[in-house]
């Protein structure tokens, strides 16, 4: 039998299994409570401001519902030449999106926010990712795996899409969805330790 999980010290304002896995990876016991916000961009909003605003709004929304634990939230955007590539609407959208990213360098901007009883703080991480040239047949086959559905930019670096990634400059966990160095910094400032329940 597996040992009983420690009591949560944090509330994650997300339903993302990838963000949950990353928090467990650094030993932070938590529970998940999705914020369920309208995630449309505001007129004239930059990608950086967009992810920062959403991370803050997610954290504060869950906190203001009466959550007593510190609330961590994040938001990620895939950006090419100033345009955000979100989750593909359908097969045609995914194929077109991957075609745009093919053979080029794009940015993955991820904001992480922590709301406590005292304050709310936010950090932003930017990584650069180059995808190799992708043929139409490869993009079609990748769509058939089901992975592009629900993924910003239409690919998952931690999944089958890893075979498309030629190079990465920046934080790998941030591209997955949660910049761990920045997250640990926010947690440490709030008096929350990583690596809980780890070790012999």
User: What is the pTM assigned to this prediction?
Assistant: 0.93
- Verify whether residue 93 is a known catalytic residue: no
CA dist 152 and 184 (Å) reads: 24
Task: Give the three-class secondary structure for 160.
Answer: helix
Q: Is residue 3 part of a domain?
A: no
Report pLDDT digits (tens) over 117-161: 999 999 999 999 999 999 999 999 999 999 999 899 999 999 999
Q: Is residue 100 part of a domain?
A: yes
Total count of domains within the chain: 1
CA dist 124 and 183 (Å) reads: 10
Q: Is residue 29 part of a domain?
A: yes
Q: pLDDT averaged over the chain?
A: 94
For 2-8, what is the mean pLDDT?
73
Q: Is residue 2 part of a domain?
A: no
Domain of 43 in residue numbering reads as 10-189
Q: Is residue 103 part of a domain?
A: yes
Q: Is residue 194 part of a domain?
A: no
Q: Per the residue annotation, which of 21, 38, 49, 75 is the catalytic one?
A: 75
CATH of the domain at 42: 3.90.950.10
Residue (of 20, 17, 23, 19) closest to 195 by Cα position: 23
Residue 200 confidence (pLDDT) above 50: no
CA dist 84 and 137 (Å) reads: 24
């Amino acid at each position: 039998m597996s040992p009983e999980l420690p009591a949560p010290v944090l509330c994650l304002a997300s339903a993302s299994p990838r963000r949950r896995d990353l928090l467990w990876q650094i030993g932070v016991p938590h529970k998940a409570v999705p914020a369920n916000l309208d995630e449309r961009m505001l007129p004239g909003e930059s990608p950086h401001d967009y992810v920062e605003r959403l991370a803050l709004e997610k954290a504060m929304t869950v906190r203001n519902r009466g959550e007593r634990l510190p609330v961590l939230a994040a938001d990620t955007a895939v950006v090419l030449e100033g345009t955000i590539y979100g989750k593909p609407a359908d097969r045609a959208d995914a194929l077109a999106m991957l075609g745009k990213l093919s053979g080029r360098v794009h940015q993955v901007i991820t904001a992480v926010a922590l709301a406590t009883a005292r304050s709310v703080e936010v950090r932003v991480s930017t990584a650069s990712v180059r995808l190799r040239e992708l043929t139409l047949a490869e993009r079609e086959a990748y769509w058939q795996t089901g992975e592009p559905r629900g993924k910003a930019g239409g690919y998952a670096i931690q999944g089958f899409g890893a075979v498309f990634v030629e190079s990465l400059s920046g934080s790998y966990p941030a591209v997955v969805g949660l910049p761990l160095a920045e997250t640990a910094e926010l947690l440490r400032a709030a008096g929350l330790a990583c690596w809980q329940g780890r070790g012999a």
